Amino acid sequence: MRIRTVGAIMGLTCASTVLMAQATSPGSPSLWKSVQGVVKSKLLLPGSRRFQPGSRNADYYTIDGVNTTVFRYVRKQRSVVHCSHFPVGSVLIKENYNKQHKLVNITAMMKSPGYDAADHNWVMANYSPSGKVIAFGKIQACIDCHAIAAKTDFVFAPPPANLLSASTIHAFFPGKRITAPYQRLLKQNARSVLR
């Protein structure tokens, strides 16, 4: 597992982490338009459900949305755990809700050919609920976390199939408490914890 400095990880929420987007990446407005399409379609990542447990108070509940490219690919493979190479044009989003079911932010990934081969060609983004860019492009904190799921092409299967250990969550989100529902998932599904 690759874990960078706390400064790099904390930088995820800072505007300064809006890193360079290479020429082959879609622009942030283009990706936001794709995000809106996924939200409108209400198409879920196979195996997930609406308002599933998130790991921290900032993402107490999550919704994993996908475009039809991802949905068809995962269905064909039967599960994310059997997916090793998502097709170009794949879009995955995670709507993050607090405990009161208020949307806090939306994270997104889009597979773009030739964008960043070392990191599986994923363009990463973090948006406010209104679409304001929090971070976009090659976001090292996102890459470092998603590298834990390298076998499934940087895509986590929905809980409880893939879970981050408590130590990993604390390393990436220092000082953030793990939610009680996620703690229960960790205890009940120890074999699903990614190492």
The answer to whether position 95 is within a domain reads yes
Q: Which pLDDT score is estimated for 14? A: 33
Domain that holds residue 31: 6-194
- The residues with which 122 forms a beta bridge, in sequence order, are 111
The answer to whether position 1 is within a domain reads no
The answer to whether position 65 is within a domain reads yes
Q: Left, alpha or beta for 20 (phi > 0: left; psi -120 to 50: alpha)?
A: beta
Q: Which pLDDT score is estimated for 157? A: 96
The answer to whether position 137 is within a domain reads yes
Q: What is the pLDDT of residues 24-68, one digit of tens each?
A: 567 888 899 999 999 999 999 999 999 999 999 889 999 999 999
pTM of this structure: 0.85
Burial of 23 by CB count in 10 Å (0-12 exposed, 13-18 middle, 19+ buried)?
A: exposed
The answer to whether position 57 is within a domain reads yes
The answer to whether position 107 is within a domain reads yes
- Model confidence at 89: pLDDT above 80: yes
Total domains in the fold of the chain? 1
CATH of the domain at 39: 3.50.70
Which residues have CB under 8 Å from 78's CB, separation 6+? none
The answer to whether position 32 is within a domain reads yes
Measured distance between the N- and C-terminal CA atoms of the chain, rounded to whole angstroms: 7
Tell me what percent of the residues of the chain surpass a pLDDT of 70: 87
Distance between CA atoms of residues 87 and 102, nearest Å: 32
pLDDT tier for residue 122 given thresholds of 50, 70 and 90? very high
Give the mean model confidence (pLDDT) for residues 146-174. Answer: 94
Could you tell me the CA-to-CA distances from 22 to 28, 30, 105, 138 in Å, in that order? 12, 14, 24, 9
